């Protein structure tokens, strides 16, 4: 039995530490681990709780409906509008995990790398009207060592040898692929029929024991669920415990930062946060690394305005909160003759990147990929039977007996365009339970993206039919996606201080000792699986931040 973790270090509240890191997810947990490895003291602040394995029930109602492990609709209300001209109305649009580990506490753990095209598509393909496209200030090759470092640090299962359009890997994956699942075989079968390439999905789930952690037990509860076995390589099981073991990190969970403090010289001096009893605590630091996610990071900057930074901290460009991107999820669902039992095994085991880059003749920007899976357990799978099936009564009951076990979804994951009006901003009226301005989301899909999603949805039907589906039903495509969990682009990186928030090392253009790294750093959205890139950016940022600190350049 694994031994209980040392609790880490405790810093006196009066002590100025080297770094405060805000957020313990894929970005913040990694930054904390990397900075402590470099000898720095870190206070890691996380607004969620530390949730132990014995509380990780297969609780579908809690996970997917009542918000047991996600941001709280009552205490953290939000508003939404589609365009800046509209008045925003109460609606919980942004969802994220509220726990130590952030998103990686409950992710599906798809760990796709980006490819070179994801960093320079603007140069290669040109712009799109109505979209604020730009190249990233870094290339794939600059990020590659950090992709590799992440994969080996946390344990990623996959296969590089099939060489199907995969970008350069300086090392293979540390672990072989996970068990193939029923939907995985169906995806392979469909791809073979269509002549599409396919491969083992790279997943941040252990296929073998790794660094003292147990491999996947194939329970099937990945998406939106924490892993009771510790086989998912989330920061709650990897980076955060390592940071704590260093003896240089203190984790303070249930700590909700309300303001990043600055002085007259325009430098960050620390943060003010509410502890779990709602006491205000000031934690001073030589530098702050903000990793609160693509919605909460810009919100905190906007909430941290001062006389010196009247439009919000690090917002001289005016782009904090702008260019919000979610990734598209066009797909469809198929019914199969035999038992698929898609609820057993990892949610995803095989993928196709056949449509990663599209024929320019299609006139579509971006691209994406597919996996096959069952996204949700029995409750939501049964509740969401299409209108063509019986909805209640005897016929319904007969139908549900084979529905859950005989379906699979072809799930698409695509790029989405950065649009300046799509944004996170502060609601002018609504406040959260702590009295802070609430998140206001403004979002409308770009017309080009709607065509891209339609193209992918059509391919998903094609894939299911080739795999032998006897019936298919399609997910709706709407310019209001309804709910979002991939939170990208809102503090974009760039070389130009007038059009971006952070530089290529994640230092804010405006404040020398403030860094931001998380999904908000993205310049473009990638093809639908952002988490590995967020984590690789965090490793790279921490590497540079540590070097700056050692050279006295912070």
Residues of span 177-196 touching another protein by CB under 8 A: 179-182, 184-186, 188-189, 192
- The region of 360-368, 396-404, 415-423, 512-520 touching another protein under the rule CB under 8 A is 396-404
What is the rounded CA–CA span in Å between residue 280 and residue 272?
7
365 is a site residue for another protein (CB under 8 A): no
By CB under 8 A, how many residues form the interface with another protein?
118
User: Residue 106 to residues 25, 101, 254: CA-CA distances in angstroms?
Assistant: 10, 8, 18
Cβ-based neighbour number of residue 229 at 10 Å: 17
Whether the CB-CB separation of 519 and 295 falls below 8 Å is answered with no
| Residues 6 or more apart in contact with residue 470 via CB below 8 angstroms | 334, 335, 336, 337
Closest to 530 measured CA to CA, from 544, 539, 540, 520 = 520
| Residues 6 or more apart in contact with residue 52 via CB below 8 angstroms | none
450 is a site residue for another protein (CB under 8 A): no
Kindly report the length of the chain: 554
Q: Three-class SS of residue 33? A: helix
Please give the residues from 71 up to 110 whose contact with another protein meets the rule CB under 8 A: 72-75, 92, 95, 98-101
CB 272, min distance to another protein, A: 22
366 is a site residue for another protein (CB under 8 A): no
**Exactly one of 204, 205, 300, 340 binds another protein (CB under 8 A); which one?**
340
- For residue 380, count CB atoms less than 10 angstroms from its CB and return exposed for 0-12, middle for 13-18, buried for 19 or more: middle
- The region of 117-125, 139-147, 394-402, 439-447 touching another protein under the rule CB under 8 A is 394-402
Please give the residues from 453 up to 482 whose contact with another protein meets the rule CB under 8 A: 475-476, 478, 481-482
Please give the residues from 144 up to 163 whose contact with another protein meets the rule CB under 8 A: none
- The region of 2-10, 30-38, 290-298, 518-526 touching another protein under the rule CB under 8 A is 2-10
What is the rounded CA–CA span in Å between residue 552 and residue 333?
56
Please give the residues from 481 up to 520 whose contact with another protein meets the rule CB under 8 A: 481-483, 485-486
544 membership: H or E segment, kind and range: helix 531-550
CB 267, min distance to another protein, A: 32
What is the rounded CA–CA span in Å between residue 484 and residue 451?
19
Q: Tell me whether residue 240 or residue 546 sits nearer to another protein (CB atom).
A: 240
Whether the CB-CB separation of 519 and 293 falls below 8 Å is answered with yes
Please give the residues from 219 up to 238 whose contact with another protein meets the rule CB under 8 A: 219-220, 223-224, 228-230, 236-237
- The region of 255-263, 288-296, 312-320, 410-418 touching another protein under the rule CB under 8 A is 410-418
CB 402, min distance to another protein, A: 8
527 is a site residue for another protein (CB under 8 A): no
Residues 316-335 as b or e (16 or more Cβ within 10 Å = b): bbebbbbbbbbbbbbbbbbb
What is the rounded CA–CA span in Å between residue 278 and residue 296?
19
CB 315, min distance to another protein, A: 28
**Exactly one of 38, 82, 214, 303 binds another protein (CB under 8 A); which one?**
214
Q: Tell me whether residue 137 or residue 345 sits nearer to another protein (CB atom).
A: 345
Residues 108-124 as b or e (16 or more Cβ within 10 Å = b): bbbbbbbbebbbebbee
Please give the residues from 268 up to 307 whose contact with another protein meets the rule CB under 8 A: 276
Q: Tell me whether residue 253 or residue 508 sits nearer to another protein (CB atom).
A: 253
CB 1, min distance to another protein, A: 5
- The region of 316-324, 385-393, 427-435, 490-498 touching another protein under the rule CB under 8 A is 385-393
CB 156, min distance to another protein, A: 18
164 is a site residue for another protein (CB under 8 A): no
23 is a site residue for another protein (CB under 8 A): no
Please give the residues from 419 up to 448 whose contact with another protein meets the rule CB under 8 A: none
Tracing tokens 């799509």 back to the chain, one arrives at 422
Tracing tokens 């995969």 back to the chain, one arrives at 166
**Exactly one of 13, 16, 39, 66 binds another protein (CB under 8 A); which one?**
66
What is the rounded CA–CA span in Å between residue 124 and residue 367?
14
């Amino acid at each position: 039995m694994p031994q209980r973790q040392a609790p880490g270090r405790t810093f006196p509240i009066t002590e100025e530490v080297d770094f405060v890191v805000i957020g313990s997810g894929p970005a913040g947990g990694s930054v904390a681990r990397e900075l402590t490895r470099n000898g720095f003291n870190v206070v890691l602040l996380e607004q969620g709780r530390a949730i132990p394995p014995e509380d990780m029930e297969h609780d579908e109602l809690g996970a997917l409906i009542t918000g047991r492990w996600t941001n709280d609709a009552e205490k953290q209300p939000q508003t939404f509008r589609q365009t800046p001209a509209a008045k925003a109305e109460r609606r919980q649009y942004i969802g994220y995990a509220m726990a130590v580990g952030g998103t990686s506490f409950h992710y599906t753990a798809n760990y796709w790398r980006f490819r070179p095209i994801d960093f320079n598509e603007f140069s290669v393909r040109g712009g799109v009207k109505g979209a604020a496209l730009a190249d990233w200030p870094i290339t794939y090759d600059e990020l590659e060592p950090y992709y590799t470092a992440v994969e080996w640090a946390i344990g990623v299962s996959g296969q590089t040898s099939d060489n199907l359009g995969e970008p350069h890997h300086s090392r293979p994956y540390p672990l072989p692929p996970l068990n193939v699942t029923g939907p995985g075989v169906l995806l392979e079968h469909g791809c073979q029929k269509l002549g599409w390439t396919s491969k083992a999905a790279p997943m941040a789930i252990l296929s073998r024991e790794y660094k003292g952690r147990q491999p996947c037990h194939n329970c099937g509860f990945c998406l939106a669920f924490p892993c009771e076995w510790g086989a998912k390589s989330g920061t709650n099981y990897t980076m955060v415990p390592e940071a704590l073991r260093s003896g240089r990190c203190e984790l303070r969970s249930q700590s909700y930062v309300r303001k990043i403090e600055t002085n007259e010289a325009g430098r960050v001096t620390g943060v003010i946060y509410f502890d779990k009893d709602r006491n205000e605590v000031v934690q001073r630091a030589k530098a702050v690394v903000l990793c609160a996610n693509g919605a909460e990071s810009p919100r905190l900057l906007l909430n941290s305005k001062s006389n010196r930074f009247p439009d919000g901290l690090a917002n001289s460009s005016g782009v904090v909160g702008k260019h919000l991107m979610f990734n598209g999820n066009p797909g469809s669902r198929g019914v199969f003759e035999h038992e698929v039992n898609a609820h057993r095994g990892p949610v995803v085991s095989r993928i196709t990147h056949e449509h990663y880059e599209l024929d320019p003749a299609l006139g579509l920007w971006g691209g994406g990929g597919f996996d096959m899976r069952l996204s949700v357990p029995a409750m939501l799978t049964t509740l969401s039977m299409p209108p063509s099936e019986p909805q209640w009564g005897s016929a319904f009951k007969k139908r549900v007996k084979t529905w859950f076990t005989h379906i699979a979804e072809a799930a698409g994951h695509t790029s989405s365009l950065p649009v300046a009006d799509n944004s996170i901003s502060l609601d002018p009226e609504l406040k959260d339970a702590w009295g802070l301005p609430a998140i206001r989301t403004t979002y409308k899909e770009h017309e080009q993206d709607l065509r891209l999603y339609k193209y992918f949805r059509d391919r998903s039907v094609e894939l299911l039919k080739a795999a032998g589906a006897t019936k298919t039903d399609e997910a709706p495509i709407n310019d209001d996606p309804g709910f979002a969990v991939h939170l990208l682009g809102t503090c974009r990186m760039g070389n130009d201080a007038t059009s971006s928030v952070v530089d290529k090392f994640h230092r804010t253009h405006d404040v020398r000792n403030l860094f931001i790294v998380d999904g908000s750093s993205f310049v473009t959205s990638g093809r639908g699986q952002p988490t590995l890139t967020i984590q690789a950016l965090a490793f790279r940022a921490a590497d540079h931040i540590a070097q700056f600190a050692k050279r006295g350049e912070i």
